[in-house]
Structure 1
Amino acid sequence: MPDNDQKDPNRRDFLYVASGAVGAVAVAGAVWPLIDQMNPSAAVLALASIEFDVSSVPEGGSVTIKWRGLPVFVRHRTEAEIEEARAVPMSDLKDPQTDAERVKEGHEQYLIMIANCTHLGCVPVGESGDFDGWFCPCHGSHYDTAGRIRKGPAPANLVVPDYEFVSDTVVRIG
């Protein structure tokens, strides 16, 4: 009796490849739900970005809003505050960054920053400190009118989140 495997060696190769392909599809089908459950939920995606109407903030005033569970300062700076921030020499800064790098062109009067001190995450007090910007009373960090660290233990400037103006008065953060 002749052996069929010796007459057609390609048949055995085909069976190995087909079995392997079916097995791979089965493993992928079983693993996909495990991977998919790690994606963010709809509630998290809804918080990924927010829109805020900055026209409600009077000149010289600021508000604190919440984004992704973090407090965010939205400051409507006066012309004097903007000029003061622009006049600071880079050599005076622990974390050198120009005022123009921290605001959007055409909307320089609005400063938007995450309201956590970069030292230990406290929330600084606005319009106070040695540089009339923000002051963290917990550990003594002083920030200027552009949110740049000027004095104290904080190692970096207040963080500017990703944001864009979707109209003249509405900003989308995130």
Structure 2
Amino acid sequence: MATVDSAVPPGESSGEQLENPRRRDYLSIGAVAFAGVGAGAIVLPIINSMSPAADTLALSSTEVDLSAIQPGQSVKATFRKQPLFVRNLTPQEIAAADATPLSELRDPQTLAERTKEGKANWLVTLGVCTHLGCVPLGAGEGENKGAFGGYFCPCHGSAYDTAGRIRSGPAPTNLAVPDYEFTSDTTILVG
């Protein structure tokens, strides 16, 4: 005659135990939370390392005094550890830049697009050739200004006109014009 074990529920053998479903959910939630904290601990230092350093933020703007720059003269300053060219254009240079047909320019921009309204004689550009990053000549006294009277890059022969527009050579675009504003008639703030 067969005996029935009354302590084991029907349909189960005496060797199996029921697993608590709440325990499984708790372990899943705990594992996901642990992984989230671990990911945060890894990602936050990486994101913080991409922020600019304090010394870079200190150099984020540059003030340039324009009062000593004579018409036809350029000066070099520094903006974010890069050379900055500030040029006081003569009326003849402005007329020559305005007379240049845009169809002759590789990167067509008018002088008015590169200067502030009412201050067409002040051209502010970064002094970095757009080909491979060399510093063009032409901002210093007696330097080679190239065939177009502006700037000449000695590395590969790019020539820019007085408006900082590329006219010949391998450079693909004009010299970059940074954000700047006139804080007075004789002072600009770059950056």
TM-based fold match above 0.5? yes
The corresponding residue for 1:64 is 76
Q: 5+ unaligned residues in a row in structure 1: which ranges?
A: 1-12
Question: Which residue pairs with 1:157 in the alignment?
Answer: 174
Supply the distance in 2 between the matched residues of 1:151 and 1:43 (Cα, whole angstroms). 37
Give the alignment of 1:1-174 within 5 angstroms.
32=44, 35-36=47-48, 38-126=50-138, 128-174=145-191
Distance in 1 of aligned mates of 2:37 and 2:182: 46
- Greater share of helix: 1
In 2: Cα distance, 1:63 partner to 1:148 partner = 18
1:162 CA drift (Å): 1.2
- Shift in Å, 1:149: 0.7
Distance 1:142 1:157 in 2: 10
Offset, 1:167: 1.6
How many residue pairs get aligned? The number is 172
Cα deviations by residue, 1:27-83 (Å, 9 ceiling, x for unpaired):
868965664454323211111111111112122111111111100111111111111
Q: Which range moves more in the overlay, 45-54 or 25-34?
A: 25-34
Shift of 1:138: 2.2
CA distance in 2, matches of 1:29, 1:120: 38
Q: Calculate percent identity across the aligned residue pairs.
A: 55
Q: Structure 2 unaligned runs (5+)?
A: 1-24, 139-143
Give per-residue Cα distances to partners, 1:9-30, cap 9 Å, x unaligned: xxxx9xx99xx88x97898689
Q: Distance in 2 between matches of 1:53 and 1:158?
A: 21
TM-score normalised per structure 1 = 0.79
Measured at CA, do residues 64 and 34 of structure 1 come closer, stay the same or move farther in structure 2, by a change above 3 Å? same
Distance 1:77 1:37, change over 3 A: same
Local SS of the residue matching 2:171 = coil
Q: Which has the larger radius of gyration?
A: 2
**In structure 2, distance between residues paired with 1:112 and 1:25:** 48
SS of structure 2 residue aligned to 1:83: helix
TM-score, normalised to structure 2, is: 0.73
The code of the aligned residue for 2:100 comes to: V
